[in-house]
A and B are shown apart, each in its own frame.
Chain A
Amino acid sequence: GAVVSQHPSWVICKSGTSVKIECRSLDFQATTMFWYRQFPKQSLMLMATSNEGSKATYEQGVEKDKFLINHASLTLSTLTVTSAHPEDSSFYICSARDQGQGNYGYTFGSGTRLTVV
């Protein structure tokens, strides 16, 4: 089945530094990927939709200059948290849409736990 690899699974960084999270579709091409943020005991909050070869579409209230998304190929999207601060600490999850499954295939990565100290 479709597999999405998300890396790293956890990262600790100092306040003010930037962190890059990678999301790869391993056995399918993903023209669309989604980035979510999840706070403890809460649901997933969609941050942005990433389309291969074009600019990401950000949800209302998400700072696009802080959360940089790049979708340079059909199998890779990256999320960079720039100038990270403790309030950016969260669980970030990516999802890739498998066009081979039409409208029905959404595969999730295993998530990245970001802790900013």
Chain B
Amino acid sequence: AQSVTQLGSHVSVSEGALVLLRCNYSSSVPPYLFWYVQYPNQGLQLLLKYTTGATLVKGINGFEAEFKKSETSFHLTKPSAHMSDAAEYFCAVKGSSNTGKLIFGQGTTLQVKP
């Protein structure tokens, strides 16, 4: 069975500071991992995904994440936070069932202070 744990339900950074959102996963099969962002009253937008190959994945808006199998982690980072990055972030793993459903973490609210 697959599961995702996001450490820290709320992260606050200053504008221009490093953003680090933590995600650990559990998977019985090689994982497909995703990071999504959600703005208020909107759906989810894909930031990046890891399937196979290079473990450092670059996404949109300057975000990147590194797949570390030994640590079962897929942390999301951005070197310099912008005010517009304030949102809810979800880490997800694709389930191993035939339906291919995504299993989401609890979410992390990112606050960016001026």
Asked whether A and B interact, the reply is yes
Interface 1/0 per residue, A92-116 and B, CB below 8 Å: 0101010000011011111101000
Determine if B113 is an interface residue (Cβ-Cβ < 8 Å).
Answer: no
CB pair A42–B107 under 8 Å, yes or no, is: yes
Give the residue name and chain of the A residue nearest to B51 (CB).
A104
Residues from chain B with Cβ under 8 Å of A42 in the complex: 106-107
Best-buried of A43, A103, A113 by chain B (most CB within 10 Å): A43
Interface residues on B, range: 20 to 34
Q: With A44-B90, A103-B32 given, is the CB distance from A93 to B44 under 8 Å?
A: yes
- Considering only residues 62-101 of chain A, those with a C-beta below 8 Å from chain B are 91, 93, 95, 97
A103 to B94: give the CA distance in the assembly, Å. Answer: 9
Q: Is A25 an interface residue (CB 8 A)?
A: no
Residues of B within 8 A of A32 (CB): 99-100
Number of A-B contacts (CB under 8 A): 50
Whole-angstrom distance between the Cβ of A42 and the nearest chain B Cβ? 7
Chain A residues whose C-beta falls within 8 Å of the C-beta of B43 in the assembled complex: 4, 6, 93, 108-111
Q: Which of A43, A104, A110 contacts B90 (CB 8 A)?
A: A43
Residues of B within 8 A of A (CB): 32, 34, 36, 41-46, 49, 51, 90, 94, 99-102, 104-107, 109
Please list 22 pairs of residues, one from A and one from B, whose beta carbons are closer than 8 Å in the complex, sorted by A's number: A4-B43, A32-B99, A34-B101, A34-B102, A41-B109, A42-B106, A43-B90, A43-B105, A46-B101, A49-B99, A49-B101, A57-B99, A93-B43, A95-B44, A103-B32, A103-B100, A104-B32, A104-B49, A106-B46, A106-B102, A108-B36, A108-B44
Binding site for B on A (CB under 8 A): 4, 6, 32, 34, 41-44, 46, 49, 57, 91, 93, 95, 97, 103-104, 106-111, 113
Closest 8 CB pairs of A and B: A108-B43, A108-B44, A110-B43, A49-B99, A111-B43, A43-B107, A43-B104, A43-B106
